């Protein structure tokens, strides 16, 4: 039994309080299919989100099977399914893979034959069995809505909330979806609530809830709508509502509602209005018997009869256990790699960056390589050259040119890796935010989600940075510690990747996140001080936040006691004094930690569309 008691919701808007829902009170028994209808902006989707726990109501209480959700906590993920207006599936996955992923993320303790049986059962229940191998990108609008419901049916919820799932569909598809929701309400004593603007197929609902400007103005059998509102056909309802204000309609319903409840096949509602009794009714009729196809029944028995599946919610209502963070992490990571290799455009871009950027660095180094390699290899030769440099202006110019080239090549590597880092993660969370929020609603751990991103992106960072270091060093032959130089490049890439991941977790859209990533990389070069020295007061503040400065400094410090280091530092080639190598490493690690902290806290916040 789902019971709403005096549910109100108000928000601050333009300096005044705006009422979205006003003292909505009603009851919906088990095994029931109800529609929530009303004109646009009347509060239908808002009420659905309040029931789901996505939005917090201002006053009132929600009860589920006699449990006050305000006091006892939200419903368990397995108890409730929510189908939003937006797509909740990845375009590059197949129908079968989407349902399997939903099962593995939501239900613990199933695998092998049992998992296959559960998937087949859900696909058959939702009419998707024949297109199980088709990718989501190839589905029609109606098939996408079926898939969204199939994914919610993975945990066999007792309450299924469908928000505008028929919106934008052709009449045939709308008819199929409504009939599917009706069928789902007839299994497992399930309540199915459907928010809709359409008045088609109203006769298929057990009851209809009519909202108008946030007020409940009717809840009863659909056949009595025409009589109660004094209209000739259901399509005339919305024009009729506009003839009176919402408060008047609500007062009318408070006065006359008991009569219509009594005439409807809703004994629980009749008890509520007639006597004001809030106890759970004993007269609720059992749902009609199930009529399933033979194959569907066979699959159902496989799912129900498995004795060694303690984590599964059986048809008798035993509890489902959501998989732990470690199990969810494995599922998410496998899915992320699958999506990566199926996205040809992204795969080609990553390969182009991996191969092209190091080649670009080498191209800029080619003209100066003879001068770079012409420097002496020993301290004595260096001393001799600097002695000559005091005497010959041309030698000074040559050494300065080499120092400038080496410094520039280091910074070029750093900036290109910063650009790679921004490309890695700027859209990573923001682009799939709605899907993530839906999975989080179904029990996904934000920690498992961020951990899967960390491993996936970390692999990209290592491949990009180590190849950059190895390829450029093979051509240019930088002196100093190669291990320290490679670590420096890894850390700057990781720092920008993690910071952009954090930005992605806090931005509302992927476009906003990408733009912020571009700004972040764009300011790296001018604020690093590697090309032009900043005023000391500005540099002291700005360089703390500029990862490229710390990576550039650490790379230069790795060359101490070499001819390259002397060429860069003895003649004012480097406009800014490089920081100490160990300090640079700690600062870059701090940037990585900050980015991951932003990503985790941002992922925990609710950001529904």
Q: What is the pLDDT of residue 479?
A: 83
Percent of the chain with pLDDT over 90: 50
Does 297 score more than 90 pLDDT? no
Tell me the average pLDDT across 37-43: 90
Structure tokens given for 456: 């996936």
203 and 175 in contact (C-beta within 8 Å)? no
Beta-carbon-side half-sphere exposure of residue 30 (alpha carbons within 13 Å): 21
Count of residues in the chain: 609
For the chain, give the percent of residues with pLDDT over 70: 84
Determine the pLDDT at residue 457.
97
Three-state SS letters, 266-331 = CHHHHHHHHHCCCCCCCCCCCCCCCCCCHHHHHHHHHHHCCCCCCCCCCCCCCCCCCCCHHHHHHH
Quote the tokens at residue 425: 């993660």
- Count other Cβ atoms within 10 Å, centred on residue 586: 12
The winner for highest mean pLDDT among 265-269, 316-320, 565-569 is 565-569
Q: Is it the case that residue 545 has pLDDT exceeding 50?
A: yes
| pLDDT average, residue stretch 519-545 | 81
Residue 401 to residue 46: CA distance in whole angstroms:
66
pLDDT grade for 266, boundaries at 50, 70 and 90: low
Angle at 77 between CA 75 and CA 80, to 5 degrees: 70
12-26, 342-356, 365-379, 470-484: least confident range: 365-379
- The 3-state secondary structure of 471-508 reads HHHHHHCCCCCHHHHHHHHHHHHHHHHHHHHHHHHHCC
- Using only the alpha carbons of the chain, give its radius of gyration: 32
What is the C-alpha to C-alpha distance for residues 442 and 76, in angstroms, rounded to an integer? 9
Q: What is the pLDDT of residue 48?
A: 93
Instruction: Tell me the pLDDT band of 197, cut-offs 50, 70 and 90.
Output: confident
Q: What's the pLDDT band for 303 if we cut at 50, 70, 90?
A: very low
- Residue 58's nearest CA partner among 26, 25, 23, 90 is 23
Q: Is 391 exposed, middle or buried (0-12, 13-18, 19+ CB in 10 A)?
A: exposed
At residue 193, the pLDDT reads 96
Asked if 261 contacts 273 with a C-beta cutoff of 8 angstroms, the reply is yes
User: Confidence class of residue 311 from pLDDT cuts 50, 70 and 90?
Assistant: very low
Interatomic CA distance for residues 49 and 606, integer angstroms: 12
For the segment 69-104, what is each residue's pLDDT rounded down to a tens digit? 888 777 888 889 999 888 789 999 999 999 999 999
**pLDDT at residue 427, as a whole number:** 94
Q: Are 25 and 4 in contact (CB under 8 A)?
A: yes
Q: Does 507 have pLDDT greater than 70?
A: yes
> What DSSP letter does each residue of 563-574 carry, written as one string?
HHHHHHHTTT-S
Q: Across all residues in the chain, what is the average pLDDT?
A: 84
**Residue 64 in tokens:** 């589920």
CA distances from 137 to 298, 347, 493 (A): 31, 18, 33
Provide the pLDDT for residue 392.
55
The pLDDT of residue 292 is above 70: no
Q: What does DSSP assign to residue 392?
A: -
What does 587-601 look like in DSSP terms, one character per residue? HHHHHHHHHHHHHHH
pLDDT over threshold 80, residue 372: no
Starting at the earlier edge strand, list the strands of the sheet with 80-83.
67-68, 59-64, 2-13, 16-28, 215-220, 207-212, 33-37, 191-195, 159-163, 80-83
Distances 349 to 340, 352, 357, 378, 552 between C-alpha atoms, Å:
11, 5, 11, 43, 26
pLDDT score, position 279: 35
More confident position, 399 or 376: 399
- pLDDT (tens digit per residue) in 445-495: 999 999 999 999 999 999 999 999 999 988 888 888 999 999 999 999 999
When mean pLDDT is compared across 228-237, 278-287, 385-394, 402-411, the lowest value belongs to: 278-287
| In contact, 269 and 261? CB cutoff 8 Å | yes
The full set of domains in the chain, from first to last, is 2-279+289-323 (3.40.50.300), 326-604 (no CATH)
Look-up: residue for tokens 């916040």?
A: 605
DSSP string, 174-230: HHHHHHHHHHHHTSTT-EEEEE-S--TTGGGSSEEEEEETTEEEEEE-GGGHHHHHT
Q: What is the pLDDT of residue 307?
A: 38
Q: List Cα–Cα distances, 184 to 50, 156, 187, 206, 448, in angstroms.
A: 22, 10, 6, 13, 31
Q: Which residue has 């945990």 as its token pair?
A: 155
pTM given for the model: 0.84
Q: What is the mean pLDDT of residues 549-575?
A: 81
CB 542 within 8 Å of CB 534: yes
pLDDT for res 168: 83
Q: CA torsion angle for 139, 143, 148, 154 (degrees, to 10)?
A: -110
Tell me the mean pLDDT in the region 249-276: 65
Q: Among 58-72, 85-99, 118-132, where is mean pLDDT lowest?
A: 58-72
CA distance 81 to 527: 50
**Cα 270 to Cα 452: distance, rounded to the nearest angstrom:** 51
The closest of 321, 361, 11, 37 to 200, measured between CA atoms, is 37
Q: Which residue has the tokens 């002196």?
A: 479
**Helix (H) / strand (E) containing 412:** helix 393-425
Tell me, what's the pLDDT at 122? Answer: 92
Q: What is the pLDDT of residues 333-362, one digit of tens each?
A: 999 999 999 999 999 999 999 999 999 998
Residues 229, 230, 235, 240: is their CA dihedral positive or negative?
Answer: negative
> At 377, phi and psi to the nearest 5?
-95, -10
Cα separation, 459 vs 523, in Å, equals: 26
Residue range 495-520: average pLDDT? 94
β pairing state of 67-68 and 59-64: antiparallel
The whole-number pLDDT of residue 397 equals 63
* The predicted structure's pLDDT at residue 564: 77
pLDDT in tens, 406-426: 888 899 999 999 999 999 999
Query: Where is pLDDT greater, at 503 or 284?
Result: 503
Looking at residue 310, what is its pLDDT? Answer: 35
């Amino acid at each position: 039994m789902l019971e709403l008691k005096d549910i109100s919701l108000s928000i601050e808007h333009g300096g005044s309080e705006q009422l979205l829902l006003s003292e909505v009170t009603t009851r919906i028994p088990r095994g029931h299919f109800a529609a929530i209808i009303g004109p646009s902006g009347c509060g239908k989707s808002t009420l659905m989100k309040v029931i789901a726990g996505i939005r917090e109501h201002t006053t009132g209480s929600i009860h589920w099977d006699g449990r006050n959700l305000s006091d006892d906590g939200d419903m368990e993920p397995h108890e409730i399914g929510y189908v939003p207006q937006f797509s909740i599936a990845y375009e590059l996955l197949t129908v079968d893979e989407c349902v399997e992923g939903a099962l593995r993320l939501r239900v613990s303790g199933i695998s092998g034959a049992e998992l296959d049986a559960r998937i087949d059962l859900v696909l058959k229940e939702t009419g998707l069995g024949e297109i199980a191998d088709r990718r989501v990108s190839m589905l029609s609008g109606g098939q996408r809505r079926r898939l969204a419901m199939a994914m919610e049916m993975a945990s066999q919820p007792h309450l299924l909330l469908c928000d505008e799932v028929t919106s934008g569909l052709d009449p045939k598809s709308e008819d199929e979806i409504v009939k599917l929701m009706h069928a789902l309400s007839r299994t497992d004593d399930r309540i199915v609530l459907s928010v809709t603007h359409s008045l088609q197929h109203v006769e298929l609902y057990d009851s209809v809830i009519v909202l108008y400007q946030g007020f409940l103005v009717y809840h009863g059998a659909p056949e009595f709508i025409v009589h109660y509102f004094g209209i000739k056909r259901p399509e005339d309802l919305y024009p009729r509502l506009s003839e009176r204000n919402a408060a008047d309609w609500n007062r009318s319903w408070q006065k006359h509602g008991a009569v219509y409840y009594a005439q409807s096949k809703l004994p629980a509602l009749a008890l509520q209005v007639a006597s004001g009794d809030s106890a759970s009714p004993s007269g609720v009729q059992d749902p009609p018997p199930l009529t399933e196809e033979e194959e569907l029944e066979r699959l159902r028995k496989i799912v129900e009869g498995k004795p060694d599946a303690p984590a599964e919610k059986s048809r008798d209502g035993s509890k489902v256990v959501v998989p732990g963070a470690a199990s969810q992490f494995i599922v998410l990571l496998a899915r992320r790699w699958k999506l990566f290799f199926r996205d040809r455009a992204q795969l080609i871009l990553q390969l182009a960056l991996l191969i092209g950027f190091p080649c670009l660095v080498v191209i800029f180094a080619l003209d100066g390589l003879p001068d770079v390699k012409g420097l002496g290899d020993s301290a004595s030769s260096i001393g001799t050259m600097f002695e000559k440099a005091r005497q010959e202006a041309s030698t000074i110019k040559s050494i300065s040119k080499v120092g400038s080239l080496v410094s520039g090549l280091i910074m070029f590597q750093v900036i290109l890796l910063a650009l790679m880092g921004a490309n890695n993660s700027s859209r990573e969370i923001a682009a799939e935010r709605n899907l993530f929020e839906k999975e989080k609603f179904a029990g996904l751990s934000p920690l498992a989600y961020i951990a899967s991103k960390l491993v996936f992106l970390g692999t990209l960072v290592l491949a990009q940075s180590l190849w950059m270091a190895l390829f450029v060093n093979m051509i240019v032959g930088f002196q100093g510690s190669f291990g320290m130089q490679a670590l420096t490049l890894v850390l700057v890439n990781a720092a920008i990747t993690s910071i952009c991941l954090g930005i992605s977790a806090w931005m509302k859209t992927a476009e906003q996140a990408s733009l912020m990533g571009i700004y972040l990389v764009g300011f790296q070069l001018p604020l690093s001080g590697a090309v032009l020295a900043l005023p000391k007061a500005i540099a002291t503040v700005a360089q703390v936040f500029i990862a490229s400065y710390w990576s550039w400094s650490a790379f230069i410090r790795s060359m101490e006691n070499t001819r390259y280091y002397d060429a860069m530092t003895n003649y004012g080639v480097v406009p800014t004094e490089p920081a100490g190598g160990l300090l640079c490493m700690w600062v870059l690690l701090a940037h990585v930690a900050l980015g991951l902290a932003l990503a985790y806290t941002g992922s925990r916040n609710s950001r529904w569309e």
